[in-house]
Amino acid sequence: MNAYTHKVQYYETDMMGITHHANYIHWMEEARIDFMDQLGFPYAKMESDGILSPVRSVSCVYKHPCSFGNEISILVRPEGFTGALLTIGYEMRNQNGELVCEARSEHVFVNREGRIVRLRKEQPEFCRAIEAQFPPKE
């Protein structure tokens, strides 16, 4: 999978010229949507099929500040998948290769009524595509 690149915008920074911490979560969403597109399962298509994926939790560890004009490369990798819960890891690096943030998000899969969807039954191709992203088991 290709990393997603985000260029830090002026409005994303605070009075000190540093990216406000909440913006990293927006970038995670941008990178996650790009990841789904690369997998061949655009999120918009899943929604039109009646499957939603709300965030269950999110965490970020900020390692190095970002500022206006920085190009942030975001590597997305699945870390866990049960068929109903997907855990995604994010590694964000600036244009100099410095690690700026490590993050994780958890997503559940539900239908429009809010009931858990078992993707192994509903979307087996998606499950295979996600599971193919994990390192081979030894």
- The model's pLDDT over 79-106, given as tens digits with 9 standing for 90+, comes to 999 999 999 999 999 999 999 999 999 9
68, 26, 133, 135: CA torsion to nearest 10: 70
**pTM, to two decimals:** 0.92
DSSP assignments along 83-102, one per residue: SSEEEEEEEEE-TT--EEEE
pLDDT > 90? residue 136: no
- pLDDT confidence tier of residue 137, bands split at 50, 70 and 90: confident
Fold classified for 4-131? Thiol Ester Dehydrase; Chain A (3.10.129)
In 10-113, DSSP assigns E strands to 55-62, 71-81, 85-93, 99-108
pLDDT computed for residue 41 by the predictor: 93
Domain extents in the chain: 4-131
pLDDT > 80? residue 138: no
pLDDT > 90? residue 134: no
What mean pLDDT is reported for the chain?
95
Sheet strands side by side (includes 85-93): 4-7, 71-81, 85-93, 99-108, 55-62
User: How many CB atoms within 10 Å of residue 66?
Assistant: 25
Which residues are catalytically annotated?
14
Label residue 88 exposed, middle or buried (CB < 10 Å: 0-12, 13-18, 19+). Answer: buried
Reported as a single tens digit per residue, the pLDDT across 21-72 is: 999 999 999 999 999 999 999 999 999 999 999 999 999 999 999 999 999 9
As a whole number of angstroms, the distance between CA 76 and CA 27 comes to 11
And the tokens for 96?
């100099």
